[in-house]
Amino acid sequence: MFDFRPADDCPKPEAYRQLHDAAEALTAGEPDAVANMANIAALLWDFLPDMNWAGFYRMVDGELVLGPFMGRPACIRIPLGKGVCGVAAQDGATQLVEDVHAFPGHIACDAVTNSELVVPVLRNGDVVAVIDLDSPSKARFDSEDRAGIERLAEIISQRI
């Protein structure tokens, strides 16, 4: 049995270090992308407080398709350039959105979401997926979260 959860009072940089170590341990040597995404989604859910959705959208035939996640049911397909995830995938750039309701073209898969962090997962310069984190709190995510999830995307880029 795995129990990678950090202590409740763990400082954010240390929590991300532990998250990266756990992701490395769980995905090393496992060739199945879906299994690896599922375990990473579970880790994100356990490691990061104040979220209502954590998971992946995979790039399939030029659009994003829902992958493994934790949270309420979600939109299944997202066109490139649409919503926070679609913009992140189209531009290949992280999107840190303090208030999703102010984001042009935001797609409301869950009405309680108020902030979002979306990080593209790149392999050989191509977006293969995005990591999507949603929170019911405005401005939930900051530069430490951005850096931590971008590092996670690098770790798993060859494993999903």
* 3-class secondary-structure state, position 126: strand
Confidence of residue 28 (pLDDT cuts 50, 70, 90): very high
Q: Which domains does the chain have, with CATH numbers?
A: 12-156 (3.30.450.40)
Compute the C-alpha angle 110/16/78, nearest 5°: 30
pLDDT at 111 over 80: no
8: confidence class by pLDDT, cuts 50, 70, 90: confident
Judge whether 122 and 160 are in contact, CB under 8 Å: no
- Average confidence (pLDDT) over 80-101: 96
Does the pTM exceed 0.85?
yes
- Checking if the pLDDT of 109 tops 80, the result is no
Range of lowest pLDDT (29-33, 52-56, 108-112, 143-147): 108-112
Report the percent of the chain where pLDDT is more than 90. Answer: 86
Confidence (pLDDT) at 32: 98
Label residue 122 by pLDDT band (50, 70, 90): very high
Q: Is 63 helix (H, G, I), strand (E, B) or coil?
A: strand
Q: Where are the alpha helices (DSSP H) in 10-142?
A: 12-27, 33-47, 83-91
Give the model's confidence band at 6: pLDDT under 50 very low, under 70 low, under 90 confident, else very high.
Answer: confident
Closest CA to 65 of 133, 130, 153: 130
Q: Give first-to-last CA distance, the chain, whole Å.
A: 22
Tell me how far apart the alpha carbons of residues 160 and 145 are, in angstroms, rounded to a whole number: 21
User: What span, in angstroms and rounded, lies between the C-alpha atoms of 156 and 13?
Assistant: 19
Confidence of residue 78 (pLDDT cuts 50, 70, 90): very high
pLDDT score for 36:
98
Cβ-contact 138, 93 below 8 angstroms: no
Mean pLDDT of 34-48: 97
- The angle subtended at Cα 87 by Cα 120 and Cα 49, nearest 5°, is 55
Lookup result for tokens 């709190």 = 137
The pLDDT, as a whole number, for residue 55 is: 98
Are 153 and 120 in contact, with CB atoms under 8 Å apart?
yes
38: tokens are 């599922």
Q: Give the model confidence (pLDDT) of 10-20 as tens digits.
A: 899 999 999 99
How confident is the model at residue 7, as a pLDDT? 77
